[in-house]
A and B are shown apart, each in its own frame.
Chain A
Amino acid sequence: MNWMRTNLKLLTSYPSALAGLVVILALVIMAVYAMVSMPLSEAINLWRAGEGIWQDTPRNAAPAWLNVFRREKLPVTQVYDTTQMPGSKTVESLGGGLKEIRVVFPVEYAYDGFPQEISVFTTAQFEQARPNLTMYWLTPDGREIPLGNETLRASESFRLSQDTRLSRRLRNQPAEIGLFADPGAPSPTVLKGTYQFVAEGIVFEDAADIDVKLVVYGQLHGLAGTDHRRRDIMVALLWGTPIALAMGFVAAVGATVSTMLIAAVGAWYGGWVDELIQRITEVHLILPILPILIMVGTLYNRSLVVIMGLFVLLSVFSGGIKTYRALFLQIKEAPYIEGARSYSASNMRIVFRYMVPRVLPVLIPQFVTLIPSFVFLEATLAVLGLGDPLLPTWGKVLWEAETNGALFNGHYYWVLAPSVLLLVTGLGFSMLGFTLDRVFNPRLRGL
C-alpha cells in the first residue's frame, strides 16, 4: 500500500528507528545463524546432556575474551587427543602379540594462571587381557613426575586433580597447581614453557589399541563461558534467540491480531455478540494470569508451547478489546461504511476490508512493542522455575545461574549475557515500535 511505503520512508529519518532496526536485524541474523549452524534437536541434546558430551570444557569458566583486558593471562582449555593428533602415538611391536604404545603430548603453557583441572581419558580396545598404562609428566626444568600406573578398562577417566596420592607427591598441592608450579618460588607461580605428557602402554593382543586424551582445563572458555554442568552458555544464548523471537512474534500476533479482530466483530455486529464479548473480557480482566500459568506449569505441563499457548488464549480477551472496540465504534459510524453498505458490501467484508485497515496504524506499533514483553514473559516464567524443560532459552540460563548462586560465586558473565540480550531485544523493539507509533499516528510527532 502506498501510505505504508511513504510511512516506511519516513521511518528511516528517525535515528531511533534505525537503531532499533539494526538491533532487530542483528537478532534475526543471530537467530538464522543459530538455526543454520545447529539443528534444534542437536541444541536440545547439547543442553540436556551431562558430562559425556561436555567432557572437554571447564566448569564455570568465564568468557575467553576477558584475557584481552587482563595483564595476567588466564588459560583456555587445551585438549590433546591421539585420535586427533596422529603423530603423537607410536606403536612398537615387541613380538608374541605384545605391543608397546607410546604417547607424547607436548604441552605448551605460557599463561599466568593455573589450569582449572587436569584429566586424562583413555579408551582401550582389547578382548581378554587388559592393557597397562604408565603416565608421567616432564616439566620444562627437567623434573619427571609419575602420574600413575593403571590397568585399563574399555574406557577410563583419570581426574588428576582429585588424585590424593599424586597431590601428596606434589607437596600437598592439587595436580593442576603442582604440575605447573615453579618449585623454587615461595608462592605458587606458573613455570612457563613446554611440558610433556608421556603415556607408555603395553597391550597384549594383536588387535588391541589404546587412545589417550589429555585435557588441561582452562579458566576461560568461548564467547560466553560455561555453566556448572560444563555446558557452553553460548549454545543457549544462540538458540535462545530464535526461540525468543519466534515466541514473541507468535504470541504478539495471537494476542493483538485476534484481540483486534474480535473487537471489530463485536463492534460491528453489536447486540448480544458485543455484550458477550464485553462480559468475557471483563471476567478475563480480573483473572490472575501468572498464578494460572504457575498452576498449569506445576500440575500439568511446562512445555513452552503449552504455557505460551495458554497465555495467548488468556490474553485474547484482554483489555485491548476495550481499546479497539472504542476505535471500531467510531469507525463504524464513518460515512464510508454506510457507503459500502449502499453497494451491498457483506458484513465480513466491511469488518476486514473497511474497518480493520483503519486500526492498523494503531495496531502495528503496539504489535512491535508487544513482542519483547512476551520474550520477557518467557524469561519471567523461566526464572520462576516454569521454563520449558527441554529448550535452551535465555530465561533458563538466568534461572540456572540463579539457582546455582552465580552472583554469589562471582560468575557475573552467566547472568550478564542473557540479561543484556533480553534488554537489547526489548530496547530494539521498543525503539522501533515507539517510532512507528509516531510515524503512523502523526499527532504524536511533535511530542
Chain B
Amino acid sequence: MSDNSVLLRVEDLHTWFELRRFGFFRIGHVRAVDGVNCVLGRGEAVAVVGESGCGKSTLARTILGLYTPTKGRIVFDGKVLDTKDDKAMQAYRAQVGYVQQDPFGALPPFMDVRRILDEPLVINGVKDPKERDARIRQALEDVRLTPVDDFLGKFPHQLSGGQQQRLVIARAIILKPKLIVADEPVSMLDASVRVEILQLLRRLQEAYGISIIYITHDLSTVRFFSERIFVMYGAKIIEQAKTRDLLDNPQHPYTRALLNAIPDPDPDNAHRFREVPGGEPPSLMNPPSGCRFHPRCPAIIRGKCDAQIPPDLELEPAHKVACWLYADNVQRESA
C-alpha cells in the first residue's frame, strides 16, 4: 500500500497492564496487546476477530488513545502519535470516533440527546452555538434519527436499543473523524436491528470516506461488513487477509478452527461432530513460549512451534499468517 493511502499504521504495539500486590509490589504484567503490526487504508473497513480475552478490545482502546501503549508506535495520517502530548492526543482523539458495545451504558443517563451530542463539540472547541446546533442536526440525520426535533429533548432511556446505538454512532461521527473504532457494536442488539446498524455504519463509511475498525467475535457479520479481517489470538494478530480470501482459504490452524465453529443452519449438523481444538485460551500474564497457539494446535511441529515465535509470513499479497507450517513454502518462493 502506498504511503498516502495509509491512514493508520500500528507498529510493534504492546499494551501491558501492571499487576500489583498490596498496592505496590509488582508481580507481573497482563500482556493484553503484545506486538501487533497492522496497516489500515483510508476508507477501509477492517474486522478484528478473536475469542474473548484475546486482546482485541485493548487493541481498540489503545488505538483510541484511551490506553497508553507500553511499547511500539501508532502512525496516524502520516504522523507518529506522541502519547505524552495532551494537545496532540486531543486532536488525535477528535479524528477517531468510538462506538461502544453497550449502547445504553455508553450514553450518560442524565443527559438528553442534544447535550450528549453537544459535549464532544464543546470539549473540542466548537464555540459557535449555531454551528454546534447545525452539526448536531446533521449527525442525527446521518444516523436516521428523524424527525430530529422529536429526538433532541429525549433521554437515553426513552430510546429503543437500536435508536440508542444510532445515537452512539452519531456521537462518534459528530467530530467528523477519519476513523471509527466499533467495539462489538451490534452484539448487544436485537438480531432484527443488527443489520440496520451495520448498514448504517457501511453507509457512513462510504459517504464520508471513514475507515472503520470493526471488532467482533461474530464471524457471520464480518463477511457482510469488512474488506479485510485480522484474526487475533493471545494478544497477537496471527492472520490477516482479504475477507473472501480468509473465509474461503484460512491458513492458520486457529483460523480454521474459528471458521469451523461458525454455526451453520443445516439440520444434518445435529448428527455431525465438529472438530474443535481442546484446551483454553492462553493466559496473557504468562503466555506460552513460541507460538501462542501451540498448546492447542492440532498441527504442532515439536521443537519449533513451542520454542520460537513465528514471524509474519506473506503467503500471497495481502494475506499474512504467523505460523511455522508455511515457513518453508514462503522461503522457497522468495528464494
Q: State how many angstroms separate the Cβ of A271 from the closest Cβ of chain B.
A: 9
CB–CB A344/B90 < 8 A: yes
Q: A3-B110, A344-B89, A357-B110 are in contact. Are A339 and B98 (CB under 8 A)?
A: yes
Q: Does B76 contact A (CB under 8 A)?
A: no
Contacts of B279 in A (CB 8 A): none
Docked complex Cα distance between A339 and B103 (Å):
11
B81-117 Cβ-contact flags toward A at 8 Å (1 or 0): 0000000011001101110111001111110100000
Q: Does B1 contact A (CB under 8 A)?
A: no
Docked complex Cα distance between A2 and B156 (Å):
12
CB–CB A349/B123 < 8 A: yes
Q: State how many angstroms separate the Cβ of B251 from the closest Cβ of chain A.
A: 34
Q: How large is the interface on B (under 10, 10 to 19, 20 to 34, 35 or more residues)?
A: 20 to 34
CB–CB A339/B100 < 8 A: yes
CB–CB A343/B175 < 8 A: yes
CB–CB B64/A342 < 8 A: yes
Docked complex Cα distance between A343 and B123 (Å):
8
Docked complex Cα distance between A194 and B64 (Å):
97
Q: A1-B110, A275-B23 are in contact. Are A342 and B66 (CB under 8 A)?
A: yes
CB–CB A336/B93 < 8 A: no
Q: Does A54 contact B (CB under 8 A)?
A: no
B52-65 Cβ-contact flags toward A at 8 Å (1 or 0): 00000000010011
Choose one: A1, A345, A358; the contact of B119 (CB below 8 Å): A345
Main secondary structure of the interface of A (DSSP, over half): helix
CB–CB B100/A343 < 8 A: no
CB–CB B108/A342 < 8 A: no
Q: How many A-B pairs with Cβ below 8 Å?
A: 64
Q: A275-B23, A345-B119, A345-B123 are in contact. Are A354 and B108 (CB under 8 A)?
A: yes
Q: A2-B153, A343-B94, A343-B120 are in contact. Are A338 and B66 (CB under 8 A)?
A: yes
Closest residue of chain B to A358 (Cβ to Cβ) is B110
A241-268 Cβ-contact flags toward B at 8 Å (1 or 0): 0000000000000000000000000000
Q: Does B17 contact A (CB under 8 A)?
A: no
Q: Does A340 contact B (CB under 8 A)?
A: yes
Q: State how many angstroms separate the Cβ of A2 from the closest Cβ of chain B.
A: 7
Contacts of A2 in B (CB 8 A): 112, 153, 155
Q: Does A335 contact B (CB under 8 A)?
A: yes
Q: A344-B124, A349-B123 are in contact. Are A339 and B23 (CB under 8 A)?
A: no
Closest residue of chain A to B87 (Cβ to Cβ) is A344
CB–CB A342/B110 < 8 A: no
Q: Does A334 contact B (CB under 8 A)?
A: yes
Q: A338-B66, A338-B100 are in contact. Are A344 and B119 (CB under 8 A)?
A: no
Closest residue of chain A to B158 (Cβ to Cβ) is A2
Q: Does B292 contact A (CB under 8 A)?
A: no
CB–CB A341/B107 < 8 A: no
A340-362 Cβ-contact flags toward B at 8 Å (1 or 0): 11111110010001100110000
Closest residue of chain A to B120 (Cβ to Cβ) is A343
Most buried by B among A338, A342, A358: A342
Choose one: B23, B89, B90, B108; the contact of A336 (CB below 8 Å): B108
Docked complex Cα distance between A334 and B103 (Å):
11
CB–CB A336/B105 < 8 A: yes
Contacts of A354 in B (CB 8 A): 108
Contacts of A338 in B (CB 8 A): 61, 66, 98, 100, 106
Closest residue of chain B to A340 (Cβ to Cβ) is B119
Closest residue of chain B to A354 (Cβ to Cβ) is B108
Q: State how many angstroms separate the Cβ of B192 from the closest Cβ of chain A.
A: 23
CB–CB A342/B153 < 8 A: no
Docked complex Cα distance between A341 and B98 (Å):
10
Contacts of B112 in A (CB 8 A): 2
CB within 8 Å of A: which B154-206 residues:
155, 168, 171, 175
Contacts of B98 in A (CB 8 A): 338-339, 342-343
6 extra interchain contacts, Cβ-Cβ under 8 A, other than A340-B108, A344-B93, A349-B123?
A2-B112, A3-B110, A336-B109, A338-B106, A339-B98, A343-B175
Residues on B close to A: CB < 8 A? Answer: 23, 61, 64-66, 89-90, 93-94, 96-98, 100-102, 105-110, 112, 119-120, 123-124, 153, 155, 168, 171, 175
Ordered by A's residue number, 9 sampled pairs between the chains whose C-beta atoms are within 8 Å are A3-B110, A275-B23, A335-B102, A338-B61, A339-B100, A343-B120, A344-B94, A344-B124, A358-B109
